[in-house]
Amino acid sequence: MVSAEHSSAMPGRMTRASARFFAADWEGQSFLEFFVDLQLRVAEDASGGAGRTVARLADHARFALQLTLVRSVDSFVAYLAEIARDVTAVRTTSPWQSVLASHDGPTQKGPLRSNGPLDASVPVDVSVMYVTTLAHGNVRLLGRQFEQATDIRLFTTADDVERLSRLSSLRNLIVHGRTFASDELVALIDESASVGGLGLRLASVREDLWFLYMAVVRIDESVASRWDIERPITSEQLFEAISAASNASSSRQGPSAVAARPEIDVPLAPEAQ
């Protein structure tokens, strides 16, 4: 289920792009909570058969942090690209832009000519420019690209720039195979880093996911207000879909999987204490 904190922050209506991000965010949070559940079961039954079996999966919790962080950062970039595309479509269909787009003047017949590469892009293509910028770690350029497309600032404070720069660097290290969950592999291979060595912890990753979440909330409200972008999906609809997905997952795991558990921020690795 969606946490009370996320629920209260979520806008009543949202664009398709933000609904896509929020759904992905829920999946990422659920993925992390799965490993928290594993740790709790190990603590409850450390000497039993279930505890020993689950402990083997718990060893992969640090790898789960990597996957979640990469997915979350890429989902955020995909959101920015999709919103930029939607704004570009609004801009290029305004009366004045219609005149500028045509060499023949306002009497031109047929569809409007494209003013830029984003107009005719499909969702996969539209994020290429932003992903390329992110791959080079240039978040300030990413901010300029987004502001140029939308007239909305991507960053509101210097702390925002620093945090997204750190997330960008971590994402690039993980994507390019420079990190390992195992400290032993890091000791063997030069120019590598461990998850623990990079400072990845459950608590810090949760904070990072919350930062991206609130950035999408702010940007979505600003873009919709500035450009009158359609917001066809309500928070109630998203909550219902998430609830259905959560219930379906629980029913596949069996009745015991839905038992209540305490909300504990369990470290996902020994060095995360």
The reply to whether 1 falls in a domain is no
The reply to whether 166 falls in a domain is yes
Cα-based distances in Å from 66 to 1, 60, 100? 22, 10, 46
Cβ(181)–Cβ(66) below 8 Å: yes
The reply to whether 258 falls in a domain is yes
Domain that holds residue 212: 10-101+117-272
For residue 94, the model assigns a pLDDT of: 59
Residue 179, classed as helix, strand or coil, is: strand
The reply to whether 45 falls in a domain is yes
Q: What are the start-end ranges of the E strands in the chain?
A: 13-14, 179-180, 193-194, 233-234
- Residue 3's identity, in one-letter code, is S
For residue 60, the model assigns a pLDDT of: 78
The reply to whether 4 falls in a domain is no
Burial class of residue 167 in the structure, from the number of CB atoms within 10 Å of its CB (0-12 exposed, 13-18 middle, 19+ buried): buried
Question: Which phi and psi (to 5°) does residue 123 adopt?
Answer: -50, -35
- What string of pLDDT tens digits covers the 273 residues of the chain? 567 777 788 889 999 999 999 999 999 988 888 877 777 776 676 666 665 666 666 567 888 889 999 999 999 999 999 999 999 999 887 555 545 554 444 444 433 334 444 444 445 566 778 888 887 878 999 999 999 999 999 999 999 999 999 999 999 999 998 998 888 888 888 888 888 788 888 888 889 999 999 999 999 999 999 999 999 999 999 999 999 988 876 565 554 443 443 443 434 443 333
Q: How many CB atoms lie within 10 A of CB 127?
A: 20
The reply to whether 112 falls in a domain is no
The reply to whether 109 falls in a domain is no
Long-range contacts of 191-197 (CB under 8 A, 24+ apart): 194/62, 195/62, 195/63, 195/65, 195/66, 195/269, 196/62, 196/269, 196/271, 196/272
The reply to whether 107 falls in a domain is no
For residue 126, the model assigns a pLDDT of: 62
Number of domains in the chain: 1
To which H or E segment does residue 161 belong? helix 158-175
Model's pTM, two decimal places? 0.77
Q: What is the largest CA-CA distance in the chain?
A: 80
Smallest CA-to-CA distance from 81 within 131, 148, 15 is with 131
